[in-house]
Structure 1
Amino acid sequence: MEKLKMHSPNLTQDNIARIRELFPNCVTEAKGEDGAVKLTVDFDQLRQELADSIVEGPQERYHLNWPGKREAMLSANSPIAKTLRPAREESENFDATQNLFIEGDNLEALKLLQETYLA
């Protein structure tokens, strides 16, 4: 029997690993809130790696900001420890249909479905 993963993927660390493959000198180690060492991105170094001239600081550009945007991005990339369970008694002909009804928080449901439906 195949064991189920009880956590969604850690997208932040996956993205850092991808950046590390392309720009190894832009990834460094730092202590997390729990005291464990984890990989982080040196954004100033990455910004310089991607520029064709000396980068002094943030450049002006168009962007969309709102209160809580950083927290929303952090929550979108953080893993969760939840699972989807079928409600057979509330479903009609559950075993024969190909339909799936999901009730819950949208972000959590999308995180849970992401790995299953990733093409």
Structure 2
Amino acid sequence: MTAESNSFEPISDERDHRGPGEVQGNIDTLAELFPDAVIDGEIDLGVLADLIGQKTERPGTEGFGLRWPGMHEARRLSAQPATQTLLPRPDESVDWENTKNILIEGDNLEVLRLLRRGYTGVVDVIYIAPPLQHRQ
């Protein structure tokens, strides 16, 4: 407010009034956006960095949990946008108009990228068949 202006602009009721001091509200917001980055109410900054595509060096900071070789690279790849599209094939389906199930064939990571944006909160169950490893 300046000397020339004696009016304040009202804050819209539609805006989120949460400030930086309201830690739990901010954690809740992050949990909604990045559920993998919030574990037991605590933010895992390393996971959050992976999910937003930031490279981090975290030697010796791994906590308890499911871990596998290449996990950080897989998380980084999962954050990239999908490069393909889903193509329905009603001619190869049984009772296409009435079914509540769908079979999607393709690369697991690419399919999950496609489903993440358009079907979050809609899909009840996803079964992912493990990749087949053929010995030569």
| TM-score bracket for the superposition, by shorter chain length | 0.3 to 0.5
RCO comparison, higher one (Cα < 8 Å, 6+): 1
TM-score when normalising by structure 1: 0.42
TM-score when normalising by structure 2: 0.38
Please state which structure has a larger fraction of its residues in strand: 1
Whose Rg is larger?
Answer: 2
